[in-house]
Structure 1
Amino acid sequence: RWGTERGLFVLQPFAIGSESVSAVSVAPGATPLFDTVLPDAYGGGGRIFDWKLVRGYLGRFVLAGGLNPDNVGSAVRETGAWGVDASSGLESSRGIKDHAKIRAFIEGAKQHEA
């Protein structure tokens, strides 16, 4: 509660495969982060999941999984995501962030704010 009163929030990750997110159980005060299921890994795989699975979610959420400057606008527009998260989609090579891709990603997300 202390954090939410100050505008802070906690992300609770959920790995999404082929199931709708309607049955997820989010902790009080948490914001769900919906990411792609990756066997033997967590995040950073650069693969998207079917965005239709999150369309009916009521409440704010953060979308992750394969997002990059080319698809972030569509992702926000199609899902109504409150926030977006990206990693490998913003790299020029493994582990090296590309500043131009980061700027393009932010602009793409802003143009399609829900």
Structure 2
Amino acid sequence: MNTQTAGSSVQIPEKKYFRIGEVSKLVGVDPHVLRYWESEFKTIRPRRAKSKQRLYRRKDVETLLLIKTLLHEEGYTIAGARKVLADGGRRPVVPKPGPVLTGSSERLAFIRKELQAIQDILGRRG
């Protein structure tokens, strides 16, 4: 039975260990990238078989999929991705930038408009 990871469309087969080639295909990166990520993210620690081959657990594969999403799709740096992983996968909420206001009259007009919108919202509740 295959299961799907949260936030990802990758199907991870139901098995205890995965070899580096399998993980490479599942995650969609070359094996050398996986080895590099091992050196950068201490949470990824594959076991070694007697043949010295890396054996990744399901949790490792899920973490690698999250790392790929953070780095390749969301534009995080290695340090930023480390921080997200340390925070349990929670990403910081970044406010959307407002308009660029050059003059004080533009700033005042923008503030007035925002305050009126807030007043309208509060008026609807009362």
Greater strand percent: which structure?
1
Q: TM-score, normalised by structure 2?
A: 0.20
| Greater RCO (CA < 8 Å, at least 6 residues apart) | 1
Report the structure number with the largest CA radius of gyration.
2
Greater helix percent: which structure?
2
Q: TM-score, normalised by structure 1?
A: 0.22
